């Protein structure tokens, strides 16, 4: 039988943050600027030092973070990192003070549920709260936060999480937030991919990519990639979209695993996953994920060079 859940403060209490990468670091800065008493940890000393330079307290390990805070937010890059931070030899599970674990990562429902069960045995409640909105959203506080967990506990954290963006109540048990995030990612990654395919086809026929985006955005083909991403990252040839191709492949893979576990056919998702897999096979894993357009350019023998900026 699990231990009784630890008593939580009326609000978030003292807040911990583990994971100070591209998303975690700007979120941590927003929390500090909003006046929260924040303690942080990351395996990268340089990431810790950058927050310490702002006067933020730094823990020695995840266990230390769990001993010093009441609510811990985690933003980690993959399931293995999340499990190690939560349940490893110096993991959060050994912390004696914290009562609520908020996982902002994208690690899939099965992985999240396993961590939540182990933390519950230690008396810690889990809020499954993956995020969407990219580095810009993390920096500007415009993320979508997909919260699943005990409603009263989510409510106590609403003002804290609201510093990061808009909180959506998507479920009452850990795992449901992950499913929502994977559905979001399936649609987003598919948009990135099919837009690359369509623009390469049009460019091969001599169409101007900027004009194509204008037409698509005025018609029924518009999507998040045509409305924002390609005009921002691909046509200017910067490709600095802030997320890696390997990370994108990880996300679509988690989605396909969850679909298989649920018994839901996902033939389109599998076809999309194969395109990102082929990019990794070419050694492109560390490239920004906007380079999915480069993959199609290379295949088609074209370049998405507009004659003018898109409208």
Find the mean pLDDT for residues 126-155.
96
Same domain, 156 and 21: yes
- Does residue 95 sit within a domain? yes
DSSP 3-state of 9:
coil
On whether both 143 and 22 belong to a single domain, the answer is yes
Catalytic residue among 90, 181, 204, 250, which? 181
Calpha distance 187→159 (Å, rounded)? 29
Residues 19-63 have pLDDT tens digits of: 999 999 999 999 999 999 899 999 999 999 999 998 899 999 999
Q: What average pLDDT does the segment 142-169 reach?
A: 97
Residue 306, in any domain of the structure? no
Does 311 map to a domain?
Answer: no
Mean pLDDT for all residues in the chain: 95
Domain end call among 173, 191, 210 = 173
CB neighbour list of residue 9: distance below 8 Å, 6 or more residues apart: 70, 71, 99, 156
At 15, phi and psi to the nearest 5?
-105, 135
**145 in the same domain as 36:** yes
Kindly state whether residues 69 and 156 are assigned to the same domain.
yes
Whether the CB-CB separation of 101 and 74 falls below 8 Å is answered with yes
Considering only CA atoms, which of 288, 259, 311, 298 is closest in space to residue 134?
Answer: 288
Tell me, yes or no, whether 251 lies in a domain: yes
Whether the pLDDT of residue 64 is over 50: the answer is: yes
Burial classification of residue 238, based on how many CB atoms lie within 10 Å of its CB (0-12 exposed, 13-18 middle, 19 or more buried): exposed
Over residues 268-282, the mean pLDDT reads: 98
Q: Is residue 214 in some structural domain?
A: yes
Respond yes or no: is residue 181 known to be catalytic. Answer: yes
Classify burial at 104, counting beta carbons within 10 Å of its beta carbon; exposed 0-12, middle 13-18, buried 19 or more. Answer: buried
Q: Based on the domain organization, do 245 and 139 belong to the same domain?
A: no
Look up residue 273 and give its two tokens. 């996953």
Q: What is the pLDDT of residue 310?
A: 60
Both 149 and 90 in one domain: the answer is: yes
Q: Which domain CATH number covers 166?
A: 3.40.50.720
pLDDT band at residue 2, thresholds of 50, 70 and 90? low
pTM flag (> 0.85): yes
How is the chain split among helix, strand and coil, in percent rounded to 5? 50, 15, 35
Confidence band of 311 (pLDDT split at 50, 70, 90): low
Indicate which CATH number applies to the domain containing 195: 1.10.1040.10
189 and 109, same structural domain? no
Of the candidates 97, 96, 77, the residue with the CA atom closest to the CA atom of residue 18 = 77
pLDDT digits (tens, 9 = 90+) for 154-166: 999 999 999 999 9
- Regarding whether 289 and 161 lie in a shared domain, the answer is no
Q: What are the pLDDT digits (tens) for 182-235?
A: 999 999 999 999 999 999 999 999 999 999 999 999 999 999 999 999 999 999
Q: Does the residue 237 lie in any domain?
A: yes
1 pLDDT higher than 80: no
pLDDT band for position 3 (cuts 50, 70, 90): confident
Q: Which of 112, 142, 173 delimits the end of a domain?
A: 173
Instruction: For residue 16, report the phi and psi dihedrals to the nearest 5 degrees.
Output: -115, 150
Give the structural domain span for 76. Answer: 15-173
In a domain, 10, yes or no: no
Reported as a single tens digit per residue, the pLDDT across 94-126 is: 999 999 999 999 999 999 999 999 999 999 999
Last residue of a domain, which of 138, 173, 208? 173
Q: How many domains does the chain have?
A: 2
């Amino acid at each position: 039988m699990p231990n009784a859940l630890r008593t939580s403060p009326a609000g978030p209490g003292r807040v911990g943050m583990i994971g100070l990468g591209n998303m975690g670091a700007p979120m941590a800065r927003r929390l500090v600027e909003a006046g929260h008493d924040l303690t942080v940890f990351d395996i990268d000393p340089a990431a810790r030092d950058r927050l310490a330079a702002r006067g933020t307290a730094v823990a020695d390990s995840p266990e230390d973070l769990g001993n010093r805070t009441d609510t811990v937010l985690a933003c980690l890059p993959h399931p293995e990192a999340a499990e190690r931070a939560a349940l490893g030899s110096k993991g959060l599970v050994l912390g004696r003070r914290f009562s609520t674990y908020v996982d902002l990562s994208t690690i899939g429902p099965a992985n999240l549920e396993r961590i939540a069960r182990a933390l519950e045995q230690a008396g810690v409640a889990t809020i499954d709260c993956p995020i969407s909105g990219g580095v810009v959203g993390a920096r500007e506080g415009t993320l979508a936060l997909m919260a699943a967990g005990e409603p009263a506990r989510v409510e106590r954290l609403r003002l804290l999480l609201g510093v990061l963006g808009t909180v959506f109540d998507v479920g009452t048990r850990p795992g449901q937030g992950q499913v929502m995030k994977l559905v979001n990612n399936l649609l987003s990654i598919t948009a990135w991919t099919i837009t690359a395919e369509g623009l390469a086809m049009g460019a091969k026929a001599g169409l101007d990519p900027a004009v194509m985006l204008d037409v698509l955005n005025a018609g029924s083909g518009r999507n998040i990639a045509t409305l924002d991403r390609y005009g921002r990252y691909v046509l200017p040839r910067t490709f600095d979209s802030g997320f890696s191709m390997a990370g994108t492949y990880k996300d679509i893979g988690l989605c396909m695993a969850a679909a298989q576990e649920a018994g839901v056919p996902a033939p389109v998702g599998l076809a999309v996953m194969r395109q990102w897999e082929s990019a990794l096979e070419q050694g492109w894993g560390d490239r920004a994920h906007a380079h999915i357009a480069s993959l199609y350019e290379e295949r088609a023998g074209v370049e998405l060079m507009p004659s003018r900026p898109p409208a």
